[in-house]
Amino acid sequence: MMRVAVIGAGIVGVTTAYELAADGHDVTVFERRGSVAEETSFANAGLVAPGYVTPWAAPGMPGKVMRHLLSRHSPVRLSGWPNPSLVLWMWRWWRACSPDCYAINRRRMYGLARYSQQRLRELGETLELDYERRLGCLVLLRTARDLALARSGMELLDAMGVRVSMLDADDCRRIEPALGQAAPLHAGIHLPDDEVGNCRQFAQLLKAHAQRLGADFRFQRRVLRVEPGAEPMIEHQLAGDEDPGDTGEAPPQLDRFDKVVVCAAIGAVHLLRPLGLRLPLAAVYGYSLTAPLRQHEGEEPLGPKGAVMDEKYKVAVSRLGSRVRAAGCAELGGSLQRTSPAAVETLYKVLNDWFPGCGQLAKARHWKGARAMLPDGPPVIGASGIEGVWLNLGHGSSGWALACGSARLLADLLAQRAPAIDPEGLDVCRVSPSRHNRP
C-alpha cells in the first residue's frame, strides 16, 4: 500500500482516486473547488462514443478550421490574437495533422476509449450507479455533401469493428421521433452501442464509493507546489471556492506522500513547469446550455431519446434525465470569463432546428469550460520522468469518454502490473522526448 496524492477532482481525478483506493492505497485528493466535477466536467455533452474519439489533429483539418473561422455558426473559433504559447501549440498541432501521425494517434485514442467504455459499464453495473445513462447516438447529416464527407469516417468505424449503420431521413425519425421537420435532413449514422450519461452525477456517485474505500477528499485546497523525490511533498493552502485565485490568509501546509498523481488539467501547467516539465497543453473552450424538458401531462417529454450529433455544426444534443443539453464549439484563446454570444447562438440554433420547443429555454443555464488538450490528441498517462510524480491529463474534449480507462491504466502502471491495454504512445516521452519514465 502507498500513500498517494491526487491533484484535481474532475472526472479524471475522481476515477483515478477510486481506482487507486480500490487497489488498497491510502488516497488523498486535493481540489481547489468545493466539490467534484465543478469545472471542465461540470456540464459537458455527456457522450461516450469511442468511434468518435479522434485526434483534432487530422489530415485536412487546418483548411477546415480556416474555412470555419469565416462562418457565422462556426464549430471552431479563435478569440482574440493568439499568444506565443498558443502559436507554438498550433504549430505542433499542424505538424501532427499528417496522415501517418493521425492514423497512429487515432488508433491509440480509440483503443483507450473502447477500454474506458468497458470500464465505465463495469463500474456502473457493479456499484449500481444511476447517472442518467441512455444508449444510442444518432449523427445527423443535413446535406448530400455532409453524407459524402462522412462516408470515409464510417468506413473507418466499420473497419475498427464499431457497430454502425447508415440511415435515411425516415429511419432517423423512427429512432428519434421528436426530430423537427423544418431543418434539412438528408441521412444519418446510427451507433447503437454508444451512449450518453451525466458526467458530473457519475463523478459525485463514484466519489462517495471512493470515500467508503478510505479516500480523503480535501476541497477548497489550492496546491501551490509539488516537491519531487522518493517521498514527494505537496504544499497546499485553503482557497476560496468562488475565486480560485484567492488563497486567503491561511498559512500553507506541507504533506508527504509516496506518489503524487497530477490530474489538474490546464492547472497542471503551473505545477509542472517549476519541475522542468513543459507539457504543450492548451485550453480549448467548450460551451453548453441545459434546460428542463417540456412535458405534457400523460405524455413522454419532448426532445431526444438519447444523443444526437449535428455533423455540420459539431453540436451534440443529449437527453439527461428530465433535461436537454446542447453542447459544442472549440474556442482557442480567450478566457472563462469572456463568453462568445455567437457560440451560444449556435447551440440554440441546433437545438431549435432538431427539437423545436422541447426545452424551457427561459430556464436554460449556460456553461463554458476549459478543456486541456495536447496538440496531437491522446492524453499522457503514467510516470512523468520526475521522481515520485505521475500524470493523468491532456484528455481534451474526450475526458468523460476516456476517464475510466485512463484511471484503471494509471493504477495498473503505478502498481507495476500489466495493464489490460497497451500503453504505447500514452507516456510522457511522446510529448517530451527528453523524459524517461522514472517512477
Cα-atom radius of gyration of the chain, to the nearest Å?
A: 21
CA distances for 429 relative to 95, 259, 260, 413, 432, angstroms: 17, 19, 19, 15, 5
Q: What are phi and psi of 107, to 5 degrees?
A: -60, -45
Query: pLDDT at position 244, please?
Result: 46
How open is the CA angle 432-434-439, to the nearest 5 degrees? 85
Q: How distant, in Å, are the alpha carbons of 160, 191, 267, 405, 420 from that of 115?
A: 14, 17, 26, 6, 8
Return the pLDDT at 160.
Answer: 84
Give me the pLDDT at residue 241, please.
44
Q: Is 411 helix (H, G, I), strand (E, B) or coil?
A: helix
Q: Is 57 helix (H, G, I), strand (E, B) or coil?
A: coil
Residues of the chain where predicted confidence (pLDDT) is lower than 50: 241-242, 244, 247
User: What DSSP character marks residue 252?
Assistant: P
- Could you give the CA distance from residue 65 to residue 88 in angstroms, rounded to a whole number? 17
The three grid cell numbers given for residue 71, joined into one nine-digit string: 462562418
Cα 350 to Cα 356: distance, rounded to the nearest angstrom: 9
- Residue 260 near residue 4, CB atoms below 8 Å: yes
